[in-house]
Amino acid sequence: MANTRLQNGFSRQQVANITGLTARQLNYWRRTEIIKPSNTTQGGHARYAFTDLIALKTVKQLLEHGVSLQKVRKSILALLKYLPLQQQPFSELKVIATGDVVLVFHQGVALDAVTGQEWILEVADLEKEIALHYPESYQLVVEQEDLFSAPHQVSDNTIIKKKVS
């Protein structure tokens, strides 16, 4: 009998405990449709699926790393428009934030989450070009290696790369 409760999804209190979000945040995000629970009980209580938890943790981490709630909302709405087969874009796609830009990876392509435009600068290709045509200046690339170090992985689904000043 205890399992039937979990079959419908995680309760708001369970989600708050798991994600570190407050019940107030969850209610607000539900009302404003930032992240809606996948299910509700007959009594109207939210029930969150595992993919909802991933999306909630992703949004929380984006906010903690300086991305505004408005940018997160715009990103979700735009991703639903540009990638209509994605029902929970922040749980189904790899998400990267650098400064206030949110990028997602979809089918091997980096897209700006708000505009849907593809990011096409290939840093590795630029590095090869400099090495080939300007080998004497290649040391400048090596000195900037920290700019291209591995991004900080915050969860299995979210990568945050801090903005370099």
Instruction: Answer whether CATH 1.10.1660.10 is correct for domain 2-160.
Output: yes
Mean pLDDT of the chain: 74
Q: What is the pLDDT of residue 19?
A: 92
pLDDT at 154: 41
> Would you place residue 153 in the very low, low, confident or very high pLDDT band (cuts 50, 70, 90)?
very low
Q: What is the pLDDT of residue 89?
A: 64
- As a whole number of angstroms, the distance between CA 144 and CA 140 comes to 6
The position carrying tokens 């929970």 is 88
Over residues 69-125, the pLDDT tens digits come to: 888 888 887 777 766 666 666 666 777 777 777 887 777 777 788 877 777 656 666
- Give the integer Cα–Cα distance in Å for 112 and 31: 26
